[in-house]
Structure 1
């Protein structure tokens, strides 16, 4: 009897063990054919990739601008392996993300740059799917730009989005970031700009006010001040050079600045000196990298970059200057200020900064819009350039309350060992002789003149002027000896500068 009991006991144990193995196996099979409870998701979580930094942004087109270009390459230059994800819905706000999280809506385009640098886009993805696709090291949140400076909108929806993301993250050591975005260009016509009285400074201050309060709303680890970096760069010689035509999305250089800011905050090392240049000139890279670095150092205030200048270079291509136009013309530098101190930093016709600048040291009277159109000169001017000018009145009765004996422009950033040549165009709808004299002075001096009255064909050229030891030349514009107008009217519409 005892032997039978032993046999039955052993067989029962084997049967129970087999049943247990079968149940565990069934629980772990996809499709769950036996209708058993789901297996523990942790069994299937994507394994961590040692040595690879994984970054996920939950955002919109502004996160697209910031991380889908350049960030991978900046990291690669420093030997840093990355995976970058962007959960994209155009214009998505925190309220949108909150709704999508609560409903599990697969509304996103999941844009993922793999370890190999190849980007793959997948549509109809939910937040949960993307969050659990990798053991993310960093997950970034942001507000849509129309509300980026409206604190109450962030306070309302950010905690819910943060809590949802945290509940789904598979990396217990994940760090959370807040992407503080940029103010619009002053010329933006986007309707949301009215939220900030159509004022860039007002918008920037509102955004940084939100940024300063983020840590009191959710416990983030990193604030990424991309907007401050853009604002810093706007104080440089590059000016408003970072937005596309809509005035709020970033152009290629703006995207590079934003990515530089992300690089420095995520990886904890200065981006200044990074060898990846994004195809930009050395001066543009210098401004971009330093704008980002300065923003990381002072995320809530603008740091002036007015002292950043391009290094002087020989002119491989001509420099063209349009006097009196605020509207850009392709390949032309616009100088719209005619009073003392007005300054423009110059690019050549290939859009490369050449280290040169023009500064008004003696003012012109004003701007005239009655120059010739349909001109035929070696300058190949569009009508937008030839039809406007700086003008002055060298003598006679006051005009606009003043007499301007001459207008003087200082050209700086020249190479003292080179010779420079200048061609000038002046034009005004008139019939009398308004001869204008252009004098160019460095270590030597040269002059040339023309009659601007209804001029469509003539230019005045001064050749082979050598800068002084400081790399400067002055241009003086005044009435010529044959000028018969009672006010001594003189004009400067355009100029071309070349070097030997």
Structure 2
């Protein structure tokens, strides 16, 4: 067992030995919509476990390591430059120094997650910046997840070299890339991507594409069977650019089930105790399916501490 894994196993054992002890975890996430998805229900799980979460999210839609690093660099160059500020009105430096964070997380943009060449040097720059301005915080690497198997990226895959053509290829690529950067940083991983893959490939609970649905001929409000999808998938909505309601596909972002699965993974890593049996289940989520998601999150985290 490697040192970081051994340490986490020890912490998890100690935490379970003092079950019921209330904890306060202070978390700052440097991410994008995927970090927002994965932490959506984290506070609810913490409350159900008798704990408290203090969370400062720094979210930029679709942002990569590079986007966050360059924003911080702009703020360093000119503190009045709005390009260096988050919606809170603070730069990354002020955000890191705002509180004594227990954990700070970083992650790659999902579209680039499989390609390690896109990680450096900006991931390393952020690692050093966090260490400088929040030296007490533990840096965690958030492993993001694969897209849904029927996402347009896989229906009409890119012919570019190195681009994943299937969900399986995307997962293998992103796992290898996140493992490599975490090893370089001697950092722990929040294995949300592992949990998604376990659920996406489960013989009983995996999402199966509805091959009877034809989006080209579908009329509102018709939708395919999307049972056990972890992603938003097909939906009728008004385009962001305006206009009438249209059928669209989002095979990237997590839906309620995916957000719950992600939050269970984060809960186990941050609070050091199992999410299995948590009393918090999002409204509308079937209890037996929620239990499967809890158990899947637990399997993903446990596999990382062996």
- Residue from 42, 48, 59 that aligns with 1:88: 59
- 1:174-189 alignment to 2 at 5 Å? 174-189=137-152
Q: Is residue 32–residue 109 contact of structure 2 (8 Å, CA) maintained in 1?
A: yes
- Residue from 201, 205, 226 that aligns with 1:235: 201
Corresponding position of 1:290: 295
Q: Is residue 89–residue 108 contact of structure 1 (8 Å, CA) maintained in 2?
A: no
Q: Is residue 180–residue 227 contact of structure 1 (8 Å, CA) maintained in 2?
A: yes
| CA-to-aligned-CA distance 1:441-496 (integer Å, 9 cap, x gap) | xxxxxxxxxxxxxxxxxxxxxxxxxxxxxxxxxxxxxxxxxxxxxxxxxxxxxxxx
- Residue from 51, 73, 76 that aligns with 2:47: 76
Corresponding position of 1:173: 136
Q: Distance in 2 between matches of 1:259 and 1:217?
A: 26
Corresponding position of 2:174: 207
Kindly indicate whether structure 1 or structure 2 has the higher relative contact order, using CA contacts under 8 Å at least 6 residues apart: 2
Corresponding position of 1:225: 191
- 1:118-197 alignment to 2 at 5 Å? 122-169=87-134, 172-190=135-153, 194=158, 196-197=163-164
Q: Distance in 1 between matches of 2:23 and 2:261?
A: 26
Q: Is residue 60–residue 88 contact of structure 1 (8 Å, CA) maintained in 2?
A: yes
Q: Distance in 2 between matches of 1:180 and 1:285?
A: 21
Q: Distance in 1 between matches of 2:57 and 2:301?
A: 22
Q: Is residue 141–residue 177 contact of structure 1 (8 Å, CA) maintained in 2?
A: yes
Corresponding position of 1:254: 258
- Of Structure 1 and Structure 2, the greater helix share is in 2
Q: What is the alpha-carbon root mean square deviation over aligned residues?
A: 2.3
Unaligned runs of 5+ in 1: 1-49, 111-121, 301-500
Corresponding position of 2:32: 60
Q: Distance in 1 between matches of 2:257 and 2:197?
A: 13
- Residue from 267, 274, 282 that aligns with 1:270: 274
Moved >6 Å (runs of 4+)? none
| CA-to-aligned-CA distance 1:161-180 (integer Å, 9 cap, x gap) | 111122111xx431110000
1:294 aligns to what SS in structure 2? helix
Q: Following TM superposition, by how much is the alpha carbon of 1:193 offset from its aligned partner in structure 2, in angstroms?
A: 6.5
Q: Following TM superposition, by how much is the alpha carbon of 1:217 offset from its aligned partner in structure 2, in angstroms?
A: 2.4
Q: Following TM superposition, by how much is the alpha carbon of 1:186 offset from its aligned partner in structure 2, in angstroms?
A: 1.6
Q: Distance in 2 between matches of 1:272 and 1:293?
A: 7
Q: Following TM superposition, by how much is the alpha carbon of 1:79 offset from its aligned partner in structure 2, in angstroms?
A: 1.0
| CA-to-aligned-CA distance 1:255-307 (integer Å, 9 cap, x gap) | 0000000000111111111111112211111111011011112249xxxxxxx
Q: Following TM superposition, by how much is the alpha carbon of 1:106 offset from its aligned partner in structure 2, in angstroms?
A: 4.6
Normalised by the length of structure 2, the TM-score is 0.72
- 1:383-422 alignment to 2 at 5 Å? none
- Of Structure 1 and Structure 2, the greater strand share is in 1
Q: Distance in 1 between matches of 2:193 and 2:300?
A: 8
Corresponding position of 2:4: none
Q: Following TM superposition, by how much is the alpha carbon of 1:254 offset from its aligned partner in structure 2, in angstroms?
A: 0.4
1:249 aligns to what SS in structure 2? strand
Q: Following TM superposition, by how much is the alpha carbon of 1:61 offset from its aligned partner in structure 2, in angstroms?
A: 0.5
2:274 aligns to what SS in structure 1? coil
Unaligned runs of 5+ in 2: 1-21, 76-80, 208-228, 234-249
Q: Following TM superposition, by how much is the alpha carbon of 1:225 offset from its aligned partner in structure 2, in angstroms?
A: 0.5
